[in-house]
Amino acid sequence: MYLYFKVDPSDDSIIQVISSSKELRTYNTKATSSANGKPYLVPVTVVKPAYDLLTETLTGPVDSHDTVIGTRTYTVVPKTIEQQEADEDERADQLLRNAVKSIAFLQIQLINKLLNAGVIAPSDFTPEVRQEYQRLKAAVDRLAK
């Protein structure tokens, strides 16, 4: 992917970021812009350092140019303890959300083993719990095939 800054010739400010799947061969430059007064393009180099997702975060981009070449710069910043803890909380929350299916499979298998071993009986539970068990068991049995 090729990036270009479209620049206002009156004050050299970036007015648009253009991305192209192909490298542009001909375009208005600062030199040709001074003759025709139209916005000009500068090719952009992206500076995006590698970083550790667990302990660092990427900020930016900050765009700049010298009328000939542009730079889009990202910066790596260490995460605060609070940010790292929030990330850990998010990962734990996602794990638990994804684990619901596994928990249902484990729970149904455990209840079946206890029922078959005579450790518990259906009468040990309220009708509402028995009904919920049957509903979950049907879903687990369907997915276990």
Question: Taking the domains of the chain in order of start, what are their residue ranges?
Answer: 2-78, 81-144
Q: Which of 76, 51, 74 is nearest to 3 (CA)?
A: 74
Predicted pLDDT at 103: 87
SS3 state of residue 15: strand
Alpha helices for the chain (secondary structure H): 30-36, 81-116, 127-144
Predicted pLDDT at 97: 83
User: Would the pTM of this model clear 0.85, i.e. be above it?
Assistant: no
- Can you give the pLDDT of all 145 residues of the chain as single tens digits? 999 999 999 999 999 999 999 999 999 999 999 999 999 999 999 999 999 999 999 999 999 999 999 999 999 999 999 999 999 999 998 888 888 888 888 999 999 999 999 999 989 999 999 999 999 889 888 887 7
CA dihedral sign, ordered 38, 72, 4, 24: positive
Predicted pLDDT at 80: 95
Predicted pLDDT at 12: 95
Instruction: Report CA 67 to chain centroid distance, whole Å.
Output: 34
